[in-house]
Amino acid sequence: MASPLDREAIMLALFTLLDAATTWATSGRKLLPWTAVTSFPAMFVQHVGDEYLTASSLTQQRRTGLPPLIYVDAEVWLYD
């Protein structure tokens, strides 16, 4: 079972959700430049980073013992 902080599982779930949204001629998790894509429409999901928010960086106080909030930053590129 994956950890709730498993970024790979989160990115895979996001990609799977978007990939099923419509019929893409090309899709992937590695961004390709427009000129390298041969079939359209195309969709790419790219993980760009993470932002960790701890009790000291939040405006509200969190209870002690809770894990930090982690925002996973992703970009979705759609070519038509």
Predicted structure pTM score: 0.76
Task: Kindly report, residue by residue over 4-24, the tens digit of the pLDDT.
Answer: 568 888 899 999 999 999 999
37, 79 contact by CB (below 8 A): yes
Under 8 Å between Cβ of 24 and 43: yes
Query: Would you call the peptide bond into 33 cis, given omega within 30 degrees of 0 as the criterion?
Result: no
pLDDT at 7 (0 to 100) = 84
